[in-house]
Chain A
Amino acid sequence: MESNAGVNRQDMLDALPHLRRFAISLSGNQADGDDLLQTTVERVLKKGAPKDVDIRKWMFRICKNIWIDEIRSRQVRTRAVESQDITIHDRPESEQEIMDKLKLAQVKTAMKKLPDEQRAVLSLVAIEGYSYKDTAEILDTPIGTVMSRLARARKNLAGQFSEGAGPFTPAQAYRA
């Protein structure tokens, strides 16, 4: 790593609330998210960051890598994945109606069911508001991959939020 790259703790501090949200969205619960956040901060403090890198984006990248490469693989071995099905029987009529029916916790559970890579992309774009370009940079992946993972993530969630297969297959199911 380059030295004296101007990485400073204030920028890291500023990023923490958002990074914590990202960590919680990845890990699916607050305790694991806070552990992930702590590991991320410790890692960046210890190993530093490349010269001229945007420390905020860098921290998101390290966070995602730690989750995918270290914590998650450990969890898969040691912990059974708890899952809770979400069923909405009525045809969704309005966004408000759906929001009322889906408790926030259920949305989070639905989010948990997504493959990790889809969840990471969705979290960066939909929750953190990053552009596709920035998301591709953070995840070190082509923009096309960001696009397709994002679309699949949204489609998967939409499928969980509506009866049957939702509006996508077959399209008519939504019109009933």
Chain B
Amino acid sequence: MPKDGYRDYSLTGPNAKASLLGNAAWYASPAPRKRIKELTKRSDRLALINYGTWLGLVVATGALLAAVWGTAWAWPAALVYGVFYGSGADSRWHETGHGTPFKTRWLNDAFYRLASFMSLRNPHLWRWSHTRHHSETIIVGRDPEIAFPRPPSIRDWALNLLYIPAITKELGKMVRIALGNLTEAEKSFLPESEWPKTFAASRAHLMVLALVGLAAVTIQSWLPLFLIGLPTFYGSWLHHILATTQHAGLAEDVPDHRMNSRTFYLNPFFRFIYSNMNYHIEHHMYPMVPFYNLPALHEEIKADCPPAYGSLLACYREMVPAVMRQQADPNHYVQRPLPAGAGATPAYERPVIAAE
């Protein structure tokens, strides 16, 4: 049902029946094919440096947490460990889901399975959900990953900055899928051939969590759960604060990622945690480009894009008022300015669907 009389975002409602934009219709900033080919090349070395460093930090800070467990130092240690585990895994789930960081496929796949578990995401369901998100980015009724349906709930937004409702929902989803139940919305983008793998993955995730719980009971300590499972809850907040910037408050139903996505500049540490997804226009426009080449891609096409925001704070300065205003006026959105000489947004008018 439409939320507060605005639009119906469900994947099974009337908007889901609207004809698609069509892949050819999406705007892409022009760049020489030779340069795009260079930027698209995968490097096991660059990916291993990043992923090896990340995994090393997860293990090292986890060992530190175990070492100081039972003292007051456990809380700051958990905070640091949780960020590397929860927030670091979420962005790496995304990158390896695209299959772009490593040249060697089994390395991509192995890290994808690991990061999917660490972020408590079903690897198959989310792969297909994200595929749809890239086909129909912020197209109402078609994109399953619209985080801010209008009018947005400020309460949910605030809680989701700490990832509370979203991750709790994800855990419930894991149990439901392990029992072999998919919603009609999930069936709309997940091919039936993928269902058995999807069920098996949720069962495997639940089994690992159950074993960790058993270990906690056996040794009469919360430590195993603070090391595996709970960090997704208490450590994903940084990723969520960063990822909120991707599309919130921007245009819906427009075949131009410059209008519905944000690119902003970010410090190197946060970019490491977030796998350079602050270059979000670039990522959507050229999803073949691995995360380590996104800054170079940004340089290549920035003259054709709205100016990048100077900081994370600058994004929030724009998003918060926009989202607040959408409470009263769901038709409001932030119109991004294109520089002089930039390519025009393709004309598109969404077909009107007759009520049944």
Partners in one complex: no
